[in-house]
């Protein structure tokens, strides 16, 4: 069977109101009410929401334009440190800190992207590993700035200030609402972006870079901008992450973590669907908590699951759902061509 | 200048060891165009298996176990050096069987599959041998230090570097001077033609992967007394291996050796001035070289670029 890709699932320009979007928003809005009931906890919701921002931004680069970065944890880390340093050195401010996180990460992304954007394929992936390792290494060695391997500790959670309203984010419940609101904005913005002509250009570059250049697109510029955009989202996620953890630690920058985000996006089906990263991130965190509650070697089982997934269904969960859905629709349609059982 | 000599010697030995580490990696990349991210995990697995063989704990208190532990350490060490890579090679072959569905798909899938396999192997090591740091026993003849020109050098490091030179030479001879090597290289160049000539390509790939895994494990056995044994040592290993094939150029044997020596030298010499930052120099070397030569020093065109 031919593998399906993002381009096989038709884009729906215009209104972002689709069933999947409605389901997602519903889950996001009701999570605090049912999370404890199913045996999970509030902080998990925050963690998942933050990683969703990271993963969705990452998939712009990974799934849509097809550039495989294996060092993206670095920009999450830069965002986290920038947020922390802003709180500690300049002033305690939520918007200022988040802005600093986004700017720092996208600035780093702009510099690194300038080195990367005329490459593709394996050399692109290898260069991102190289740069990711440099950032991670500096975070560990620059004790004076980053606190070395211990990380930056005691980062405050600043109050949310909108005009005259001041709202404390100190407890996990209110922080969840804040992160969820940002995630909702990010999802709608990214949805519009990938279904706009820009998203089509990204996919054209993934399918055939040379041809996209012949059509007249400035491929280098678009690759560079996409990299910066994805690092900006990583920075935003990092800022929120340091707020949730009340600290910034170098381990999110390691190759291991950067590999895990690739794994999440791929298992969920980021190559196939906009919603792939969402499924992947949720699967990862739920697996971590549920399998991790049973056995300490949960990564063994998650790794095995991942290996089996790559062997049998490399399009990931979203691809699986798409294939199953397409088959069900065919079956129920009257007069449809009978579907072969195996395929 | 004279005070730099020990650092240069250190750098060169480190470079040879890096070359040994990268050898199996570059073989698999060059022949199969698979980035084997499990290379580091196989490196660790080989070292752990050799350690267990040398210690003989798994034979228990049976007659064989008692007899085994009474053998001289050098005999057990020699057997461990053989057994570790052989066992790791069989794990590598199983991995190749798992990889088969990914052939013909984008190289990303092979890379991801081996990343998952690396996680699994690392967790298995944790499960079997525990998370603590362990050490691999070395025969007394290889231990200790010696003086040369008023400077002190570790005997084992020299043994390891010599071992690396021999291994590099043997692999080169195997690839260049035997019919098997010719088939392997031909398989890398034009797999369809090789199949049309009646060679069993899937068996060839199985053997190449096994061979690459054995080389990874061999490097692990040799490096373990220097770096120590931790379950996550694989990640410390895969990075230099990666850098070396990129700097040297994907698929180039001598490119990898040259790159390994360069990386070793740069780490050794920067170690003289800023020990804490010496590992950073290899990333800077990567960016400096790949920034100017996109295919590395001696690389040729590869399907992995698309």
Cβ <8 Å between A120 and B101: no
- Confidence check: pLDDT of B225 > 60: yes
Q: So what's the pLDDT on residue B193?
A: 83
Closest CA to A199 of A175, A231, A236, A225: A225
- Confidence band of A63 (pLDDT split at 50, 70, 90): confident
A120 vs B: CB within 8 A:
yes
| Stretch A188-206: mean pLDDT | 89
Q: What are phi and psi of A247, to 5 degrees?
A: 180, 165
Which residues fall within 8 angstroms of residue B239, CB to CB, at 6 or more apart?
A129, A133, A255
DSSP code, position B57: G
Q: So what's the pLDDT on residue A311?
A: 84
DSSP code, position B232: T
Closest CA to B109 of A312, A2, A52, A226: A312
User: Which of the pair, A322 or A114, is modelled with greater confidence?
Assistant: A114
Q: In chain B, which residues have their Cβ closer than 8 Å to the Cβ of A297?
A: 123, 126-127
Q: With contact defined as beta carbons under 8 Å apart, do B245 and B35 qualify?
A: no
Element (H, E) at A302: helix A298-312
B273 vs A: CB within 8 A:
no
Q: So what's the pLDDT on residue A3?
A: 60
What three-state secondary structure class fits A5? coil
Element (H, E) at A110: helix A94-116
User: Which of the pair, B245 or B86, is modelled with greater confidence?
Assistant: B86
DSSP bridge pairs for B146: B153
A130 vs B: CB within 8 A:
yes
Q: So what's the pLDDT on residue A13?
A: 58
The mean pLDDT of chain A is 85
Domains annotated for chain B, with CATH where assigned, are 2-300 (1.10.3470)
| Stretch A40-53: mean pLDDT | 90
Q: For chain B, give percent helix, strand, coil, nearest 5.
A: 80, 5, 20
| Stretch A138-145: mean pLDDT | 84
Q: So what's the pLDDT on residue A79?
A: 95
Q: Which phi-psi region, left, alpha or beta, contains residue A248 (left: φ > 0; alpha: ψ -120 to 50)?
A: beta
Ranked by mean pLDDT, the top range of B40-44, B73-77, B142-146 is B40-44
Cβ <8 Å between A137 and B283: yes
- Confidence check: pLDDT of A97 > 50: yes
Angle at B183 between CA B181 and CA B187, to 5 degrees: 115
- Confidence check: pLDDT of A339 > 50: no
Long-range own/partner contacts, residues A145-153 (CB < 8 A, 24 or more apart): A145/A81, A145/A85, A146/A81, A146/A248, A146/A250, A148/A250, A149/A250, A151/A247, A151/A248, A151/A249, A151/A250, A152/A80, A152/A81, A152/A84, A152/A85, A152/A88, A152/A242, A152/A247, A152/A248, A152/A249, A153/A246, A153/A247
- Confidence check: pLDDT of B66 > 80: no
Among A165-169, A182-186, A280-284, B1-5, the minimum mean pLDDT is found in B1-5
Angle at A126 between CA B88 and CA A107, to 5 degrees: 140
- Confidence band of A11 (pLDDT split at 50, 70, 90): low
Closest CA to B250 of B39, B19, B31: B31
Per residue in B115-142, pLDDT (tens digit) is 889 989 988 998 888 888 887 777 777 7
Q: In chain A, which residues have their Cβ closer than 8 Å to the Cβ of B290?
A: 123, 126-127, 130
Closest CA to A241 of A83, A121, A114: A83
- Confidence check: pLDDT of A225 > 90: yes
Cβ <8 Å between B291 and A299: no
d(CA B270, CA B274): 6
Q: So what's the pLDDT on residue A340?
A: 41
**Chain A nearest C-alpha distance from B27 (Å):** 16
Residues of chain B numbered 25-54 and touching chain A (CB < 8 Å): 35, 37
Q: What percent of chain A clears pLDDT 70, i.e. is strictly above it?
A: 92
- Confidence check: pLDDT of B204 > 80: yes
| Stretch A134-154: mean pLDDT | 84
Q: In chain A, which residues have their Cβ closer than 8 Å to the Cβ of B243?
A: 130
d(CA A305, CA A263): 11
Ranked by mean pLDDT, the top range of B144-153, B157-166, B248-257, B269-278 is B157-166
Per residue in B26-50, pLDDT (tens digit) is 888 877 778 888 999 999 999 999 8
Residues of chain B numbered 109-168 and touching chain A (CB < 8 Å): 109, 111-113, 115-120, 122-124, 126-127
| Tokens coding A106 | 């996208």
Cβ <8 Å between A133 and B239: yes
- Confidence band of A59 (pLDDT split at 50, 70, 90): very high
Task: Establish whether this prediction's ipTM goes over 0.95.
Answer: no
Q: In chain A, which residues have their Cβ closer than 8 Å to the Cβ of B251?
A: none
Domains annotated for chain A, with CATH where assigned, are 6-332 (1.10.3470)
Cβ <8 Å between A303 and B283: no
Closest CA to A323 of A337, A342, A306: A342
């Amino acid at each position: 069977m031919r593998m399906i890709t993002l381009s096989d699932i038709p884009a729906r320009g215009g209104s972002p109101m689709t069933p999947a979007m409605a389901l997602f928003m519903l889950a996001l809005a009701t999570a605090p009410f049912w999370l404890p009931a199913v045996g999970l906890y509030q902080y998990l919701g925050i963690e998942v929401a933050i990683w969703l921002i990271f993963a969705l931004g990452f998939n712009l680069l990974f799934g849509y334009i097809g550039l495989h970065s294996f060092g993206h944890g670095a920009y999450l880390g830069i965002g986290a440190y920038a947020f922390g340093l802003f709180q500690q050195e300049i002033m305690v401010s939520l918007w200022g800190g988040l802005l600093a996180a986004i700017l720092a990460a996208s600035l780093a992304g702009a510099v690194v992207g300038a080195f990367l954007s005329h490459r593709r394929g394996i050399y692109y992936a290898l260069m991102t590993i190289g740069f990711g390792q440099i950032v991670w290494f500096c975070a560990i060695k620059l004790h004076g700035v980053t606190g070395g391997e211990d990380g930056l500790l005691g980062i405050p959670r600043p109050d949310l200030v909108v005009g005259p309203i001041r709202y404390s984010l100190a407890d996990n419940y209110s922080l969840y609402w804040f992160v969820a609101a940002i995630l909702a904005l990010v999802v709608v913005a990214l949805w519009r972006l990938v279904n706009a002509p820009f998203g089509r250009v990204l996919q054209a570059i993934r399918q055939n870079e040379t041809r996209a250049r012949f059509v007249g697109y400035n491929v280098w510029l678009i690759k560079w901008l996409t990299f910066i955009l994805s690092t900006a989202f990583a920075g935003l996620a990092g800022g929120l992450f340091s707020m949730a953890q009340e600290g910034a630690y170098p381990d999110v920058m390691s190759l291991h973590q950067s590999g895990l985000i690739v794994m999440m996006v791929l298992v969920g089906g980021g190559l196939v669907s906009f919603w792939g990263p969402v499924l992947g991130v949720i699967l990862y965190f739920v697996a971590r908590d549920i399998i991790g509650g049973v056995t300490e070697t949960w990564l063994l089982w998650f790794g095995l699951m991942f290996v089996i997934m790559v062997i049998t269904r490399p399009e990931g969960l979203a691809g699986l759902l798409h294939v199953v859905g397409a088959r069900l629709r065919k079956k129920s349609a009257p007069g449809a061509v009978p579907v072969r059982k195996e395929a | 200048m004279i005070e730099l000599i020990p650092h240069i010697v250190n750098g060169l030995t480190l470079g040879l060891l890096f070359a040994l580490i990268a050898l199996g990696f570059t073989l698999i990349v060059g022949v199969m165009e698979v980035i084997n991210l499990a290379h580091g995990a196989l490196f660790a697995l080989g070292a752990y298996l050799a350690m267990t063989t040398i210690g003989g704990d798994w034979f228990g208190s049976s007659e064989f176990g008692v007899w085994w532990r009474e053998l001289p350490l050098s005999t057990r060490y020699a057997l461990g050096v053989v057994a570790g890579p052989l066992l790791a090679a069989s794990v590598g072959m199983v991995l190749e069987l798992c990889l088969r569905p990914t052939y013909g798909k984008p190289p990303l899938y092979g890379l991801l599959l081996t990343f998952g396999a690396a996680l699994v192997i690392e967790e298995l090591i944790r499960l079997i041998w525990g998370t603590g740091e362990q050490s691999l026993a070395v025969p007394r003849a290889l231990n200790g230090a010696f003086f040369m020109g008023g400077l002190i050098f570790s005997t084992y490091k020299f043994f390891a570097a010599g071992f690396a030179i021999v291994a590099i030479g043997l692999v080169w001879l195997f690839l260049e001077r035997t019919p098997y090597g010719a088939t392997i290289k031909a398989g890398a160049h034009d797999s369809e033609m090789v199949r049309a000539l009646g060679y069993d390509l899937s068996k060839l790939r199985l053997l190449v992967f096994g061979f690459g895994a054995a080389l990874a494990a061999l490097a692990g056995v040799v490096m373990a007394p220097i770096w120590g044994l931790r379950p996550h040592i694989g990640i410390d290993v895969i990075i230099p291996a990666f850098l070396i094939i990129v700097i040297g150029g994907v698929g180039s044997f001598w490119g990898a050796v040259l790159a390994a020596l360069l990386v070793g030298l740069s780490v050794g010499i920067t170690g003289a001035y800023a020990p804490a930052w010496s590992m950073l120099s290899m990333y800077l070397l990567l960016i400096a070289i790949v920034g100017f030569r996109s295919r590395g020093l001696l690389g040729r065109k590869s399907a992995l670029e698309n």
